[in-house]
């Protein structure tokens, strides 16, 4: 491919993906469209400022004229849609921007890509569209969609639009669904970076409910390799699951993290549970193994250690993104929870 267009490239996974693409494909240009919401930080890609193969355009994926202009100017071979409102807790406080970006934004991109005759479209989605598991079993690509949060419902709606465009128009779309990512540049509203940042300054770690909820953790590098494999070798109209093969309860994860940091378990605070909190996610990624020759490579303990080191070394990055809007969010989300816990 000579050029790809990425949306949401200033966020956590998008920025890791853009950097990796430029490293792995020296002759390929990468165009990044990002609105720069609270979660979008151009500093995540500041090291690419002087790279002539990288282009950044600020704008909203819901704005058809903006998307059309980018497609016309750069004529990319493929579009990979990372742009989203991505945090479950925020979707519980207000689902409006979730429906706007994750549903209307996806539809706008699909129409624009169809009109431009794009050769490949990849929708980066989540295992949360499948809902919650009990103690046993894993999600396959055939598991019925049963989203439980406004976030996952809006992602499922986006996935279904891609499916419908493939079916109705022969559109060359692919959906990828991945479990919980961790790694550098993750915004510290999500569990791991929040707990690392808090623990580093001896602040309490707010564990929802009893901490028995299970998530499957995957390093962001493994997820990016999976998206790349789907982009280049996936079949149009298909869904591919990616997982890390690293299931842990939130409490197990928190304890492992405190051990890596050398901090006491007395920092753990059990707080009021998230409404509608999904019990367990687990992924069957055998289709990606079979068809894309993909499997996760990063060992969880080693990935966790490296991630902690990254946050330790980037205290100024954390400090910056935690100022401003984030302070108000933290107070709204945790103020009364921590006061009454
Ligand atoms: P993030 O919140 O860190 O980044 C989202 C990016 O999208 C930001 O740069 C933001 O500015 C941009 N954006 C938001 N609304 C936009 C709009 N209307 N127009 C243009 N840009 C906009 O998210 P992330 O964790 O990097 O997740 C990226 C994608 O991967 C999302 O689609 C998410 O649903 C999916 N996903 C995330 C995880 C995870 O564990 N983080 C797991 C599976 C799937
Ligand atoms: P999160 O990082 O928000 O990802 P998701 O909800 O998309 O899986 O949360 C991961 C798990 O950690 C989830 O079970 C909720 C829990 N959690 C807490 O216990 N405390 C917190 O402060 C946060 C943000 C999450």
Report how far apart, in Å, the C-alpha atoms of 16 and of each of 206, 209, 260 are.
27, 32, 23
C-beta 153 within 6 A of ligand 1:
no
Kindly state the tokens that stand for 2.
């000579």
Residues with CB under 6 A from ligand 2: 88, 180, 190-191, 194, 206-208, 213, 215, 250, 274
* Residue 65: burial class (beta carbons within 10 Å; 0-12, 13-18, 19+): exposed
Please tell me which residue in 127, 159, 221, 222 is annotated as part of the active site. 127
Is 151 part of the annotated catalytic residue set? yes
CA 123–ligand 2 middle distance (angstroms): 23
Would you give the distance in Å from CA 129 to the centre of its chain? 13
Q: For residues 58 and 1, what is the distance between their CA atoms, to the nearest angstrom?
A: 23
CA 23–ligand 2 middle distance (angstroms): 31
Query: With respect to CATH, is domain 3-183+218-245+282-297+324-334 assigned 3.40.50.720?
Result: yes
CA 34–ligand 1 middle distance (angstroms): 10
pTM over 0.75: yes
Within 8 A by CB and 6+ apart from 228, the residues are: 17, 20, 21, 24
The CB density around residue 13, as the number of other CB atoms within 10 Å, is 22
Residue nearest (by alpha carbon) to ligand 2 atom 6: 88
Would you give the distance in Å from CA 45 to the centre of its chain? 16
Q: For residues 25 and 53, what is the distance between their CA atoms, to the nearest angstrom?
A: 10
Domain residue extents for the chain? 3-183+218-245+282-297+324-334
- What is the helix (H) or strand (E) element at residue 16, kind and residue range? helix 12-24
From first to last of its 341 residues, the chain has per-residue pLDDT tens of: 999 999 999 999 999 999 999 999 999 999 999 999 999 999 999 999 999 999 999 999 999 999 999 999 999 999 999 999 999 999 999 999 999 999 999 999 999 999 999 999 999 999 999 999 999 999 999 999 999 999 999 999 999 999 999 999 999 999 999 999 999 999 999 999 999 999 999 999 999 999 999 999 999 999 999 999 999 999 999 999 999 999 999 999 999 999 999 999 999 999 999 999 999 999 999 999 999 999 999 999 999 999 999 999 999 999 988 888 888 899 999 998 888 65
């Amino acid at each position: 491919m000579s050029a790809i267009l990425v949306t949401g490239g200033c966020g956590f996974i998008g920025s890791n993906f853009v950097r990796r693409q430029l490293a792995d494909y020296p002759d390929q240009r990468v165009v990044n469209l990002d609105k720069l919401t609270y979660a979008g930080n151009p500093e995540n890609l500041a090291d690419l400022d002087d790279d002539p193969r990288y282009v950044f355009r600020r704008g909203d994926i819901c704005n058809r004229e903006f998307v059309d202009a980018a497609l016309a100017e750069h004529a990319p071979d493929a579009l990979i849609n990372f742009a989203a409102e991505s945090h479950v807790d925020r979707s519980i406080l207000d689902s409006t921007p979730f429906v706007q970006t994750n549903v209307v934004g996806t539809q706008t991109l699909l129409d624009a890509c169809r009109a431009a005759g794009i050769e490949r479209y990849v929708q980066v989605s989540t295992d949360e569209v499948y809902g919650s598991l009990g103690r046993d079993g894993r999600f396959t690509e055939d598991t019925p969609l049963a989203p439980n949060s406004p976030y996952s419902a809006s992602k499922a709606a986006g996935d279904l639009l891609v499916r419908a465009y493939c079916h109705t128009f022969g559109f060359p779309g692919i959906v990828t669904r991945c479990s919980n990512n961790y790694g550098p540049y993750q915004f510290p509203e999500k569990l791991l970076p929040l707990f690392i940042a808090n623990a580093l300054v001896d602040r309490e770690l707010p564990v929802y409910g009893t901490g028995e909820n299970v998530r499957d953790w995957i390093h962001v590098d493994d997820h990016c390799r999976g998206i790349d494999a789907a982009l280049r070798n996936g079949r149009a109209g298909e869904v591919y699951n990616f997982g890390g093969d690293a299931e842990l309860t939130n409490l197990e994860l928190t304890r492992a993290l405190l051990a890596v940091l050398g901090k006491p378990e007395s920092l753990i605070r059990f707080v009021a549970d998230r409404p509608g909190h999904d019990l367990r996610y687990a992924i069957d990624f055998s289709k990606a193994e079979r068809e894309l020759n993909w499997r996760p490579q990063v060992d969880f303990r080693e990935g966790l250690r490296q991630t902690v080191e990254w946050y330790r070394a980037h205290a100024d990055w954390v400090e910056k993104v935690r100022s401003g809007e984030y302070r108000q969010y933290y107070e709204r989300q945790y103020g009364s929870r921590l006061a009454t816990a």
